[in-house]
């Protein structure tokens, strides 16, 4: 499935050659997105009543309403401090998010000191070419999400970055997962949300 995705992006010429080559070498994302996003899809099931039976056979207990209304706001840090290897790690995690559940609605942003997007994605769509290359501020992304999101829907922010940048003074309303590069900011220095570190194979 991942190889098909990379081939589609290659054919459309939207990935730099170095990113394309590195994505070919990745078989899966490092984070178990199915487990992480579960809490935002449904409440812990006590029985099968009220869940979409189309997915029970696949081990997915998705509420017939809530399971269709989760927004993932994913932001990829494209500032000058992010190299090609780190960028390909981030893009592989975006693909992991897209493939985690059939009802995930992913809005992708790129950000340096500014924010680019959103790009609405499903697994069947290609990831647009990254934009950026300047300094790093996390503020524009969270401000843009507040403008873009539907307040009636559940949502979660995922920020893929090295962690070095300007954080908002105010904690955003949506829960946030920080995905930090190897050698990035120490996790205990992240001022809000959850944080995990990627590693280099």
Dump pLDDT digits (tens) for 159-182. Answer: 999 999 999 999 999 999 999 998
Number of domains in the chain: 1
Do residues 107 and 136 lie in contact, with contact meaning Cβ atoms separated by under 8 Å? no
Q: pLDDT tens across 109-132, in order? A: 999 999 999 999 987 778 888 999
Residue 40, domain CATH: 3.40.50
Structure tokens at 98: 């897209």
Q: Are 109 and 141 in contact (CB under 8 A)?
A: yes
- 29-38, 74-83, 100-109, 123-132: which is most confident: 74-83
Pick from 4-8, 122-126, 148-152, 179-183 the range whose average pLDDT is largest.
179-183
Residue position matching structure tokens 């984070």:
31
Provide the pLDDT for residue 12. 41
Say what the pLDDT of residue 76 is.
Answer: 97
Nearest to 80 by CA among 171, 177, 164, 193: 164
The residue range of the domain holding 172 is: 2-197
**What are the φ and ψ backbone dihedral angles of 97, each rounded to 5 degrees?**
-60, -45
For residues 24 and 3, the answer to whether their CB atoms sit within 8 Å is yes
């Amino acid at each position: 499935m991942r190889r098909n995705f990379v081939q589609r992006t290659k054919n459309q010429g939207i990935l730099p050659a170095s990113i394309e080559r590195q994505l070919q070498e990745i078989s899966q994302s490092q984070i178990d997105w199915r487990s992480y996003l579960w809490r935002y899809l449904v409440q812990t099931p006590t029985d099968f009543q009220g869940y979409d039976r189309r997915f029970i056979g696949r081990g997915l207990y998705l509420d017939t309403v809530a399971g269709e209304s989760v927004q993932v706001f994913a932001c990829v840090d494209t500032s000058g401090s992010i190299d090609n290897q780190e960028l390909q790690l981030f893009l592989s995690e975006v693909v992991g998010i897209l493939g985690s559940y059939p009802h995930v609605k992913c809005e992708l942003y790129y950000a340096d000191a500014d924010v680019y997007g959103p790009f609405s994605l499903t697994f069947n769509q290609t990831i647009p070419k990254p934009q950026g290359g300047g300094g790093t501020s996390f503020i524009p992304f969270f401000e843009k999400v507040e403008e873009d999101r539907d307040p009636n829907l559940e949502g979660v922010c995922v920020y893929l970055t090295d962690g070095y940048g300007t954080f908002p003074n105010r904690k955003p309303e949506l829960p946030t997962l920080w995905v930090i590069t190897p050698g990035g900011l120490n996790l205990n220095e992240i001022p809000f949300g959850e944080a995990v570190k990627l590693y280099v194979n």
